[in-house]
Structure 1
Amino acid sequence: MAKAKPNTELCKGCRLCVGACPKQAIIPLEEVNKKGYQIIRVDEEKCIGCGMCYKTCPDCVFTIA
């Protein structure tokens, strides 16, 4: 089954994906990327590969694979 894969170096910490995920599979972290933005991670156990994060993200952080 396809899952969401984030490229956290592109993430700007807007958290739109967190609210868009119907399974609450996206977890905001306190960790920051090289640009200084707080990042997210995807709980692959919960992810159903629906693509809502991909559709919502303004920075093209996600791929569905």
Structure 2
Amino acid sequence: MEKVVVNRERCKGCGLCLHACAFSLLQFSAKANAKGYYPPKMTDESRCTSCAACARICPDTAVSVYRPQ
């Protein structure tokens, strides 16, 4: 299972999650959603600590973070 899951259709492409990531692991996707926004995507999931800073700052609750069991 992925650590960071983005609801592409809920995202408005504000970029707050990109700036919240201490390791700069998120970047805008090259593919737009149905509303024309570019949601983020994870660049290196192995470096993600599941801190959930990206999910906490998202005003649209479009980001979910899961910790491996």
Coarse TM-score class (shorter-chain normalised): 0.7 to 0.9
Once the two structures are TM-superposed, the CA of residue 39 in structure 1 deviates from its matched residue by 1.5
**How many pairs were matched up?**
64
Once the two structures are TM-superposed, the CA of residue 62 in structure 1 deviates from its matched residue by 1.1
Structure 1: runs of 5+ lacking an equivalent: none
Per-residue Cα deviation, 1:22-52 (whole angstroms, up to 9, x for no partner): 0111111232001111111013122210000
Higher strand proportion (structure 1 or 2): 1
Q: Relative to structure 2, which stretch is displaced further, 19-28 or 29-38?
A: 29-38
Which secondary structure state, in structure 2, belongs to the residue aligned with residue 34 of structure 1? coil
Cross-structure match for 1:11: 11
Cross-structure match for 1:37: 37
Which secondary structure state, in structure 2, belongs to the residue aligned with residue 19 of structure 1? helix
**TM-score for the superposition, normalised by structure 2:** 0.81
Alpha-carbon distance between aligned partners in 2 of 1:4 and 1:28, rounded to the nearest angstrom = 14
What is the alpha-carbon root mean square deviation over aligned residues? 1.5
Q: Rg bigger for which structure?
A: 2
Cross-structure match for 2:51: 50
Alpha-carbon distance between aligned partners in 2 of 1:29 and 1:5, rounded to the nearest angstrom = 13
AA matched with 1:34: A
Q: Relative to structure 2, which stretch is displaced further, 41-50 or 2-11?
A: 2-11
